[in-house]
């Protein structure tokens, strides 16, 4: 695993957005209607095998089925700026690796995205990104 602050710092530096460590929140707690610029929340959410249907009993075979560390990147923004904000954040984490000089070996990959909540003018969006490891320590 890696320290989430590394990814927070990269996204903050490249986008200029307010970026924080994710905590359990609801749309009411964030007071979504008072947000005037994008707010981003980043935090790890789990680990899964790269090939979930391939289960092995032999520990050596696990090297053929690496683990993926899943990280949630959530953000709240104006609905009409969703495409721009999503693109800016994706460009910020593109080729990100917590391992210096190792982006060709293990950099973040996009897994999925969805709307979490929305109002007439705002949207709360979540991207799930993964970092593939031959083993997560």
CA dihedral 55, 57, 58, 64 (to 10 degrees): 10
pLDDT at res. 65? 59
| Structural domain boundaries in the chain | 4-133
The token pair at 33 is 């209607």
pLDDT at res. 104? 59
Task: Return the SS3 of 73.
Answer: strand
pLDDT at res. 64? 59
pLDDT at res. 59? 54
pLDDT at res. 15? 97
pLDDT at res. 31? 61
pLDDT at res. 119? 84
- The CATH superfamily label for domain 4-133 reads Phage tail protein-like (3.30.2000.10)
- Give the dihedral sign, CA 17/99/130/104: positive
pLDDT at res. 23? 83
pTM above 0.95, yes or no: no
Q: Can you list the residues of the chain whose pLDDT is less than 50?
A: 29, 135-137
pLDDT at res. 72? 96
């Amino acid at each position: 695993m890696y320290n989430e602050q590394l990814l927070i710092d990269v996204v903050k530096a490249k986008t200029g957005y307010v970026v924080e460590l994710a905590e359990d929140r609801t749309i009411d707690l964030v007071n979504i209607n008072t947000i005037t610029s994008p707010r981003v929340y980043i935090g790890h959410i789990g680990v899964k095998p790269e090939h979930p249907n391939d289960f092995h009993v032999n520990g050596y075979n696990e090297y053929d089925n690496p683990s993926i560390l899943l990280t949630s990147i959530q953000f709240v923004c104006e609905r009409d700026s969703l495409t721009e904000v999503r693109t800016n954040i994706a460009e910020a984490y593109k080729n990100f690796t917590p391992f210096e000089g190792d982006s060709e070996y293990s950099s973040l990959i996009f897994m999925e995205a969805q709307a979490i909540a929305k109002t007439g003018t705002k949207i709360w969006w979540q991207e799930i990104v993964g970092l593939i490891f031959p083993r997560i320590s």
